[in-house]
Structure 1
């Protein structure tokens, strides 16, 4: 093999730096959304938080809509990754542990950022199609993963609705958590839901 040219040697690090900058901008966009909402999350604010110039930010994302459309995809991917990572071995834990883990995701910063995206999408035509499509995808994956983790048999009547009810409940706790952290009440709700799931879903197969 011939020697690698100087241009080729320089290109890879440059590509790596470009990917790293893009990643920092997306992470900063998500953090800004979670902390400041849509109105407070301008390209300048995101760029400053990411530690890059506004010009560098606009090189990657020419418009605010470009930046936050990419952030929608990033949040969706991160939420799916977090769901898949809950229990790598599958449904090995008791159902209360599964309920606690799902609720923790819905009351964490990724879901908070997603909520701000929902609000923004309700007012921003450029964001609505992407947010709607990706939320549907995350919703389907959340349901499928919850079914697996709970050891639920959806061929049984009412089981699909029971799992969906769990996810709706977790989402509701996430909404409530925006205003106040009511951990003790949430623990009691989680315990009750785990008991209800054991009654509704029966023994694991």
Structure 2
């Protein structure tokens, strides 16, 4: 029996990363579809096609799993923003709103609601969302080429993000695409006027 070489370890590490990725994606789907109450480690493991033991190897507690899933969502959102082709401020406004109307936002929202009632989640989710909020604001400022030294610019960018979150909340109950498009169009004009 020979010694384990780095080449032998690489496939195992790749499988471990792939398992972790499947678990995170399954957790996001479970949260978005079933909420906190309906999302268990067993349900996530089954959806990911792994054993409960494998899930607990990667994420020892339910809180670890779902906090990591929302962090994964946040990283995906930030990456998507960073990869946006620069097409003008109106396109950036639309892209920011799109971040808050998809399944990733729905999953994050479920975790927020759970954190408001679950003390073991509250501190972790609060810290995570503060970090995500700062990163999203920073990327938005960069994409909009906004000069936050000018009075009112920082507040306008933050207002845009708050408005996008509100539209995402409204989208949870009804498909309000037509009204949302009109609101986003007006916000794009406001952003353009404010940042000129």
TM-score range with shorter-chain normalisation? over 0.9
- Conserved? CA contact 1:84–1:145, under 8 Å: yes
Q: State the partner residue of 1:80.
A: 78
The CA RMSD measured in Å over matched residues stands at: 1.5
Q: State the partner residue of 2:163.
A: 169
- Conserved? CA contact 1:37–1:116, under 8 Å: yes
Report which of the two has the higher share of helix. Answer: 2
Q: State the partner residue of 2:22.
A: 24
Q: 1:119 aligns with which of 108, 113, 118?
A: 113
Query: Whole-Å Cα distance in 1 between the matches of residues 156 and 63 of structure 2?
Result: 37
- State the TM-score, normalizing by the size of structure 2: 0.92
Runs of 4+ more than 3 Å apart:
none
Matched positions, count: 194
Single out whichever of 156-165 and 51-60 deviates more from structure 2.
51-60
1:122-171 CA-to-partner distances (Å, cap 9, x unmatched) read 11222212211111111111111111211211111111111111111000
Q: Which secondary structure does the structure 2 equivalent of 1:155 belong to?
A: coil
Q: State the partner residue of 2:191.
A: 197
Query: Whole-Å Cα distance in 2 between the matches of residues 56 and 25 of structure 1?
Result: 10
Q: Which runs of 5+ in 1 are unaligned?
A: none
The CA deviation at 1:59 is 2.2
Single out whichever of 147-156 and 75-84 deviates more from structure 2.
75-84
Q: State the partner residue of 1:7.
A: 4
- State the TM-score, normalizing by the size of structure 1: 0.88
Query: Whole-Å Cα distance in 2 between the matches of residues 180 and 6 of structure 1?
Result: 59
Q: Which runs of 5+ in 2 are unaligned?
A: none
Q: 1:159 aligns with which of 139, 153, 156?
A: 153
